[in-house]
A and B are shown apart, each in its own frame.
Chain A
Amino acid sequence: MKDSINEKKARIGVFLCECGNKIASKIDLNALENHVKNDPMVTYVEINPYPCSAPGLKAVRKAVEDKKLDRIVVAGCESRIILKKFERELLDSGLEQGQIAVVNLRDHVAQASDGEPEELAVKAAKLIGSWAAGLEALTPMPRQKVEMNGPVMIVGGGIAGYSAAHELIRHQIDVRIAVDTEDIEDEIRTVHEFYPGERHYHRHLRKIMQEVMESPYVERITGCDLKKVMGPVGDYSVAFSTQYGQTQQYNASAIIAALDTHMVNQGDNYGHDGERILCHTELEEYIWLHGPLHENLVFWVNDLENDQPWAHLSARSAWNMARYIREHSGLAQLTILYNDRIQLPLSATERAKSRQMGIKWIPYDGSVRPTVLAGYITYTRRDVQIEEELNWDRLVLSPVRGIGVEVLKVAEILGYDIVEGRFLERNPQMVRPEQVGQEEKLLAGSARRPCDLQESLRQGRRAASKVVEMVEKARAGQLYAPKVIVTVDESKCTGCGLCKEICDCGGIEPVEGAGGGIPRRVDPMVCTGGGTCAAACPYNALTLQTNTFGQMEARTATLVRQLKSNEVMGFACNWGGAAAADLAGLRGLKSDPGFYLLPISCIGQLDPRVMGRAFLEGANGLLLIGCPPEQCHHSYGLDHTWSRVNVIKKLLSLCGLERERIAMAHADLNDPKHYVRIVDIFMATMERLGPIRRDTTTKERLQGLYETLQNPRMRWVLGAGLRRPREETYPGDQRNALAYDETLSDVLTEEFLRARVLNILRGAGEIVRGNIVANALGEDKSQVAQCLAGMVKEGLIHRIYKDRTPYYNIG
């Protein structure tokens, strides 16, 4: 996998932090320095009292410059917290993404056990060596610059689009807005269908619309339907279909979707007839057509009765409509009847104004449901508890809010997560902001979550200001993709789509084009670098930038080779296990000193290959510590690891080894004691099992194990069982789980044998008879013969007849 850039030997510097006396008093740093010096990979070692302080950083910078170091390991404290400072401070010294590794000696070595300083120095040296090996295998990647080409596209036709466009033109950014009509008055005329009772705001809205429509930065697209959105952030291609069935393509740097809630009346409920008993939007329409009413009007805010949690919005729009009618008619009698469980969404001034205008607010006890009668509505007050009646000429009910068909279509095209009966708003991804470039397609308007007009316009402005920030950064050449992202090797990708199915961030999409077998690509600004997609790819087409499998394998192999027979390594995720380990060190909790921890940003990044490599290189056990169940920050990386561990377990038993040698655990970062317990229990298990006896048979089988894990068919079957984002059940909880698991076992048995056969043939280098293969493997002859026949049939090996006896070799 080595690149031509990587041919030059990496120059790795190691900086050993004293951390006051927190590390220096526990670990013999001079001994450690000598150990590290003997490592051929390391160019330079230095003990530094505080590499993270200004004087320490000066020394680090000087060493980097003098020794021409291009990667450094800082052996100090939590990478989660301190790494950012090193990255920021050493950027000018030429150390970029991934070229700095921080090993937590303080919490994982110095404070974690009461060993002798020399012993701890040996342990620290092994960890440092492992990270140095990982750095050596790194292919340096310059930061990926993202450009913003073309105008910002505003789709969806929602009102928030105008405020978004308004904000963008204020910053002289080109906008393309898809609107239903170019006539502002037509647009204003229909606003009440989505935002009833906002008439007092129309003047302001009209002004915004006018400015947008007249701006030289704005291009309008009318009468088109959104059809397709392709491409990465900064370079979208948006397709619309025109009335005449043609397709029109536009490019866009960013997309803002302005989508509004759909409002419908309550159907036949409560005697609704759209005439005398009507809903807010219908009343608005009536006022447009006939002017204000001079009648006895009762607004019944009945959202709670309809299981709609938006009573405050309905109460507000009822109040606004009542106010409007009062301002235009002295004769109208206005009453608003509301469930006393809702809080009145009125300010003190508005209450005073309401009294002054003679608009009555009547709260009722929700446990006694009001009944609509001819000309009357009954209700019961909580304090009176005697049924009362209210006379009406026209009864106004709350509208029912939902997502309309049109909005749903647009949302689907844009790839929003649609859950039936829910609005489009979702929680942001639970990763650090620097892990995601930017929210991909920005959403504004009440379809996110019902809201009033002002809030909707505010959302539009907020979405636009995010785009402005991006565009301005891009113009200054400062917009970069996050550090750890997945990239696709299009020459290896077969377009199977497994990665897209299990991707939780929506960063993977097909490359534009027609037909099947289209390779995928990754949108660098959307990808969160979870990496479970890369660990699942059957064809190794996906690579996790700056944390490749080559690096992970190098780290694992280097560590494992140095471990003693009673020592064990493990991986822990930075959100769960590793964070708990940090905290355990800080709290001074002691755990088994024979445990070596390699933190990783998500446990789901671990390709089964890496786990297999550990066993191949000499590990006697492997512990994987992730987040608590259902709390994986990359959605289902945890569940995917569970599936992968299951595969390794099956393969271990095929190798004749104990399944307990690999274990999966969950640790909450806030519960360090639990972490210590996990480590101690696993270490006890490993002590019970003892080291693996590495005779020729076991070695041959472990080689087979490692190679089976790279087999596309096996990886495909494994991939099929991985939990998909938004799947509600565990993999083991599904209806076909057992059937699947049995199939997986069969496939593994078959592929394991095949991998071993291939190994024997490869090792032999010449034509070999079937019996010899079977003897070498120590397996049943007929089984091997069957396997060989199958492999010949699939073209994996060749059969040659010599004296009527079949011989086999690799083609």
Chain B
Amino acid sequence: MSKNSIKEKNIIGFTINGQAVEAEEGWTVLETARYNGFHIPTLCYHEAIEPSGACRLCVVEVREGDWSKVVISCMYPVKEGIEILTDSPRVHNVRRWVLEMLLAECPASKEIQALAAEYGVSSSRFASVDKENQCMLCGLCVRVCNEIVGVNAISFASRGTSKEIATPYKVPSTACVACGSCVTVCPTGAMQARLDQVRGDISQRTGHGHAH
């Protein structure tokens, strides 16, 4: 985060959907695009938190010289002379794939359903294991708990298909301060149902129950 020494930074010029934009070293394509009014969908991105590129929805096409590739814009640094396409057929194709996978992963999430409908995705060709699942494991809640709140009450538990967001040993965490930041940032609404498993019975921990 050396954004503070702005004065020595070079201006980087590139184009988004054919429109010339200016940025500074260290900015990401997503930030620059959104600031200039280009809409890019995201789920796992939050301005207050470092990006992690988990949901892959923010993909854009980068053209540089005579080659092109699809990258996630939330972590892709700006570069002189590149061409960004936020809504090319190739980008849409990838986003639809991503949305199909997300839809299969969390069939119960209204937010994902709405986003998928925007891209014309109504069903998924992938198998859904849990019809009630809302969580897409983007880890935004874990990051907010670590970066913003600073208590690290929740984290990823287990691996592979049984990976989930949980407190250590899956018992309510005394590190949790029940601030609800995880619920607020959760892009799919999954955390709302889980919060009680994380914070436990707060009344046991306030008043006469706490330290000092």
Contact = CB atoms under 8 A, between A and B. Distances in A.
Interface stretch (B22-30, B90-98, B125-133): B22-30
Nearest to A636: B207
Given A631-B202, A670-B180, A52 B150 contact: no
Interface string A481-518: 00000000000000000000000111000000000000
B27 A55 contact: yes
B10 interface: no
B27 A54 contact: yes
Interface string A153-189: 0000000000000000000000000000000000000
Interface in B6-32: 6, 23-24, 26-28, 31-32
Contact of B206 (A21, A56, A574, A635): A635
Given A49-B37, A670-B192, A415 B181 contact: no
Contacts of A439: 211
Given A78-B184, A82-B47, A54 B28 contact: yes
A577 to B, nearest CB: 11
Contact of B207 (A78, A433, A726): A726
Interface residues on A, range: 35 or more
Contacts of A303: none
Nearest to A635: B207
B3 A89 contact: yes
B144 A54 contact: no
Interface in A576-590: 579, 582-583, 586-587
A633 interface: yes
B69 interface: no
Nearest to B46: A81
Contact of A49 (B27, B35, B144, B195): B35
A55 B23 contact: yes
Nearest to B42: A20
A211 B177 CA distance: 39
A432 B151 contact: yes
Interface residues of B, number: 49
A427 B207 contact: no
Contacts of A55: 23-24, 27, 31-32, 35-36
Q: Is the interface of A mostly helix, strand, loop or mixed?
A: loop
A114 interface: no
Contacts of B27: 54-55
A81 B210 contact: no
Contacts, number: 156
B184 A670 contact: no
B212 A669 contact: no
Nearest to B186: A586
B212 A415 contact: yes
Contact of B184 (A80, A415, A427, A632): A80
B208 A53 contact: no
B3 A53 contact: no
Contacts of A633: 177-178, 206
B127 to A, nearest CB: 29
B151 A54 contact: no
Contacts of A61: 6
A367 to B, nearest CB: 27
A742 interface: no
A348 to B, nearest CB: 21
A416 interface: yes
A367 B15 CA distance: 78
A367 B4 CA distance: 69
A557 B191 CA distance: 37
Contacts of A793: none
Q: What 6 pairs across the A-B complex have the smallest Cβ distances? A: A630-B203, A55-B35, A669-B180, A52-B47, A426-B211, A726-B208
